[in-house]
Structure 1
């Protein structure tokens, strides 16, 4: 933080010098100021990653809400949005499981995004995303509102997760991997779905052609989810101890995508984007950085409350 303040002071000082510099000096000073400002912005953004495991890969699960085909199509659009965002950044995406919708989209999709600060960048996307549009599935061209939940957890190093799951707590199902067709389609039942009977949480993997390997991957993801549940419970207990009452995640709509009026609005930050097609094609960075600022501010306020 001290380095950030020092660089910001240097950039401000160069700005003042620009006002009184000769024409010959201005070009050189402007280049130096731009270089310093870039470093300032990079350092400031580093301060926004206040969450634990910001550097970890992100496990993302998109699930359609009530509403049939329209909400399933929306879940499919969100899945594509995050995958396009990852593709733009050169990140790797491993599809763990996808349950296709009846006519379009997906009932749910789960995938891992691997890349620099993957979890840190995607953490603000956790919550309920709302779509408003004239539905292409409605012959009367009526306006519909649909919801989908996005769950984002870090892929925590295995040595940090001290969770043992007895075999008696698991139901194991095997099935054929879904694919786009052609030689890549898996013709054997190598995909694995594990259901944790005490909680009802189900996790699947169809990443590899090996049933054994898919079982190992699904078990590890299941442990990640149980670990995340435990961490969130602790956070809620700490919040209650501070006299706070947290909202239920599913009931917290974080963002609306209103396509017929051509805007996307984040309800936490107030940021509006008037290019919804670009956003849905993975242009998410502005929304993510604003979300990270909001999260950092919220964390700072909570820490300040703890000190009182």
Structure 2
């Protein structure tokens, strides 16, 4: 119990509860101002920040009160009574762990929806099947959390899987949770497509960016910088999706970025959405470029990236290992069915530690 109280005290300092409380009081005064609602965007930002701060400060206050009360009860309880209080102590410990996780969302726009692009690597059917397995894994994870998914584009492989897919996951801190999944994922297995039962290694890339509100993205894309192609929709899309050339592919010539959208039957709407996603990706590139310049200014030469091969899924030996965090599990079926939160939380700790180390170097 003493260790738990010490952890709570450390969290109070780490979370800067007094500072957050002062800031929340300022925001509450703004929310009481009727003129705030004349500017819908500012009202949205103030409301969102206040909601986040309230969740942390009120959560900490309730937890601190309950922990202190339990500590006082344990001081005067008999041995039999202490056994009865063990369950309550375990509950408080879990709440402390949950509060600690509030400290891990150190990336910008952690509250935003996540835009995910999965692309198969070289290797034909093997890699395409692997890319399809990854897409299913993330969609199953989203379903487990009660999140919503929207498939924007899906290019099916010739025999199995996908060559590429783009989809959005919407839910509480969708981008924050998914950010550690960005990188190259490696599959090793005895191929179901190889009549000689040989062992194959396949790769697929997972690219994840936040869906930042359009008004926050100050990026102009000249018409001369893009090529727009239209084609007939394929893959997921519902009955009648293939009846018109409604799918749109936008290629940004200076960077080579390509965004394909076939989510609606309207070519105009697909085009608008493709340009929105393109701006999101260009914005993400610009943010990472600024971070790289900051690192270079303080003498660090390494690029801002989360590594190439971040995780290996070795099915014939029944394990999935994350190469950054060391987390390894042997229930590969559950992992591929979306049970990946252990990897995500470990990845968030890794990212938070990485960013803290960079900040210390800067100081």
What TM-score comes out, normalization by structure 2 length?
0.78
User: 1:51 & 1:216 partners in 2: Cα distance?
Assistant: 27
The residue aligned with 2:170 is 114
The residue aligned with 1:243 is 299
Q: How is 1:64-213 mapped onto 2 (pairs within 5 angstroms)?
A: 64-180=120-236, 183=239, 185-213=241-269
In structure 2, relative to structure 1, the CA distance for the partners of 1:182 and 1:286 (3 Å cut) is closer
CA apart distance, 1:243: 2.3
- Give the number of aligned pairs: 307
Q: Deviations over 1:151-174 (max 9, x none)?
A: 000001111111111112221111
| 3-state SS of 2:333 partner | helix
- Give unmatched runs, 5+ long, in structure 2: 1-10, 18-59
Matched, 1:263 2:319: yes
CA apart distance, 1:246: 2.5
The residue aligned with 2:101 is 45
| 3-state SS of 2:202 partner | strand
Bigger proportion of residues as helix: 2
In structure 2, relative to structure 1, the CA distance for the partners of 1:182 and 1:148 (3 Å cut) is closer
In structure 2, relative to structure 1, the CA distance for the partners of 1:238 and 1:248 (3 Å cut) is closer
| Contact in 2 for aligned 1:85/1:284 (Cα 8 Å) | yes
Larger Cα-atom Rg: 2
CA apart distance, 1:242: 2.4
What TM-score comes out, normalization by structure 1 length?
0.92
In structure 2, relative to structure 1, the CA distance for the partners of 1:145 and 1:16 (3 Å cut) is farther
Relative CO higher for 1 or 2, CA cutoff 8 Å, sep ≥ 6? 1
Indicate the larger mover: 118-127 or 158-167: 158-167
| Contact in 2 for aligned 1:15/1:33 (Cα 8 Å) | no
The residue aligned with 2:288 is 232
User: 1:231 & 1:194 partners in 2: Cα distance?
Assistant: 21
Question: What's the Cα RMSD here?
Answer: 2.5
Matched, 1:306 2:362: yes
User: 2:295 & 2:73 partners in 1: Cα distance?
Assistant: 48
Q: Deviations over 1:272-295 (max 9, x none)?
A: 011111111100111100000111
Q: 2:89 aligns with which of 3, 13, 33?
A: 33
| Contact in 1 for aligned 2:190/2:199 (Cα 8 Å) | yes
Q: 1:274 aligns with which of 321, 330, 353?
A: 330
Q: Deviations over 1:174-216 (max 9, x none)?
A: 1222245873534111111111122221101111222111111
| 3-state SS of 2:243 partner | coil
Q: Deviations over 1:83-106 (max 9, x none)?
A: 111111111111111111122111
User: 1:253 & 1:141 partners in 2: Cα distance?
Assistant: 25
